[in-house]
Amino acid sequence: MSLQAEIKEILGQLGIQENNQGASTGANWLTSTGAQIASVSPVDAQVIAHVTMATPDQYNQVIEKAQAAFVEWRKVPAPKRGEVVRQLAERIRFYKEPLGKLVSYEMGKSLQEGLGEVQEMIDICDFAVGLSRQLYGLTMHSERPNHRMYEQYHPLGIVGIISAFNFPVAVWNWNTALAWVCGDVCVWKPSEKTPLTAIACQRIAQEVFAANDVPEGVSGLVIGDGEIGKLMANDPRVPLVSATGSTRMGKSVGAAVGQRLGRSLLELGGNNAIIITPSADLKMVVPGAVFGAVGTAGQRCTSTRRLIIHESVFDKVRDALSAAYKQLRIGNPLDQNNHVGPLIDQDAVNNYLAAIEAAQKEGGKVIVEGGVLSGEGYESGCYVKPCIIEAENHFAIVQHETFAPILYIMKYSGGVENAIALQNGVPQGLSSAIMTNDLKESEAFLSAAGSDCGIANVNIGTSGAEIGGAFGGEKETGGGRESGSDAWKVYMRRQTNTINYSDSLPLAQGIKFDL
């Protein structure tokens, strides 16, 4: 069977038809008069299908349906909501292979990474099921006699989700699984570069929700361009907007949501580094750095962009990396023999080429040459060679996040504090790592004077996070937290309650107010 025939069969398994509408209230797909967009695979430049984008009127219909659904959904006991999410995990398990293949083909990441992303969806659903019985508040002692005080959490309402192309399904489910057990409803604007995976997720949720009589509107989908994102960011009916993407996009969303005093959960750019100390184990350094730099063709927000290497081991690490890069296989990501797939589109390729040129103009030395691949198997023009450049941390291009497989390597001398200063010396603050067998160095890296990132790892790379921990970063990464730990609290409003069960009305702080 040809690849195109296989993908057509997968679309059928996932219930996706040509000319799908771009807006859904859950049970109903809305007839649209909007413009059409083509989902084009970066694997082979083939048009997978066309999708009609949502109009502003359709956006409003989805929001109104979500408002009505919230009135009912918030009344459902949290463990019952968790049971629905448990069933969703089972359906995602059923569809794991076709959905993972569609992720790989529509976005361009390796099949293993596509399947792994679907597994993330399953894992976060499993986490949320347990969470549905653990939405704990606090009790505290009152200073007034015969009074009881406690805190509790209530759902916010509509959670707007704006996701990026690089994780086209997992980020949606990171938000929805938690939001749904918290009693919220969700409206999703996926990347217009990956609309079909979004439609597939909505249809899978539809199956489960319909079987459980979940109110229509608990899961909404609106496919559109940046104008739909602006509507959502400026909409006072959406108390929380969770946005994943570039720092530039996040600043725009954050400003719009802040202007109306709403809440935003921002997961933005990363410029992630691994510090390699003299005691580091080279057998761990090489696979951690190479996967971090070339996995998803460098299009993860946690991709390794910089290696900060002690001068005493610099040559050894550089040579080992160069040898490892020669073994990389670049090609069709659905072929599991390949390590690296394509970039998402021609704009990404142009940015990759411009970054290499800029680094060389600033004095960077190319260690492993980059370039665009052509010929059989590379007809889409989106396949590029992972590149290594010896550079300085202060270079303007090094300070900037380029979503491509470009790895900058640089030296440090002296103690680990000098490496940490370089690690922290960029505007972004998402993920970081240190490779060391020195306890003092690892503790210094994890201390308050160490890494300023939201994620700090020891003897593993920057890329690949488990759902049990809160995910997110500081500085220009936006400060948001998703996924595990107590990230659920962002989807809820906190309320303090005081109950007086006495026959008098004493005031706090001993204030007297006699009538």
Query: Mind telling me the catalytic residues?
Result: 267, 301
Phi/psi zone of residue 375: left (φ > 0), alpha (ψ -120 to 50 degrees), beta? left
Helices (H), 425-470: 439-446
**Do 292 and 258 form a contact (C-beta atoms < 8 A)?**
no
Tokens of 513: 């107010």
Whole-angstrom distance, CA of residue 34 vs CA of residue 111: 33
d(CA 49, CA 54): 16
Are 230 and 256 contacting, i.e. CB atoms less than 8 angstroms apart? yes
Structure tokens at 96: 């794991």
Which residues pair with residue 149 across a beta bridge? 140, 498
> What is d(CA 166, CA 297) in angstroms, rounded to the nearest whole number?
10
Backbone φ, ψ for residue 236 (5° rounding): -65, -10
Collect all residues with Cβ–Cβ distance below 8 Å to 350 and sequence separation of at least 6: none
Helix (H) or strand (E) holding 248: helix 247-259
φ and ψ at 128, to 5 degrees? -65, -30
C-alpha distances in Å from residue 105, one per residue of 42, 110, 331: 8, 9, 12
DSSP-H helix ranges across 327-474: 346-361, 396-399, 416-424, 439-446
- CA–CA distances in Å: residue 407 to residues 85, 308, 393: 39, 11, 12
